[in-house]
């Protein structure tokens, strides 16, 4: 199932159906973009042309008090980031 995620803090907005995702791509994307930009004016326009109410509510909740939001979609959970910590030269483990 497709998931929507914010760009600024990578928080999950929510799961959407394939139909809802197709609607967003058709209405907001440019040439197979995976990035979307919305503000309250755009959300109102989407609602006026018949967007799913749950989708609009989910986006409004994520937008919160911000004036705009950039988000993306992906299938499945995001890949976790792995932090690499350099080892001090001359040490092979054990206690620090």
Q: Convert the pLDDT of each residue in 50-84 to its tens digit.
A: 999 999 999 999 999 999 999 998 886 555 556 56
- Which pLDDT does position 75 carry in this prediction? 82
Structure tokens at 87: 């080892």
At 27, give phi and psi (nearest 5°).
-85, -30
Q: Given a cut of 70, is residue 87 above it in pLDDT?
A: no
Nearest-5° Cα angle at 54, 50 to 59: 95
Average pLDDT over every residue of 27-55: 90
Global pTM reads 0.73
> What's the pLDDT band for 20 if we cut at 50, 70, 90?
very high
């Amino acid at each position: 199932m497709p998931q929507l995620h914010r760009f600024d803090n990578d928080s999950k907005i929510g799961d959407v159906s394939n139909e809802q995702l197709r609607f967003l791509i058709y209405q907001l994307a440019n040439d197979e973009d995976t990035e979307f930009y919305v503000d309250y004016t755009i959300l109102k326009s989407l609602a006026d042309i018949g967007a799913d109410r749950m989708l609009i509510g989910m986006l409004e909740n994520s937008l919160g008090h911000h004036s705009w939001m950039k988000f993306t979609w992906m299938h499945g959970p995001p890949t976790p980031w792995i932090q690499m910590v350099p080892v001090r030269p001359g040490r092979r483990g054990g206690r620090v």
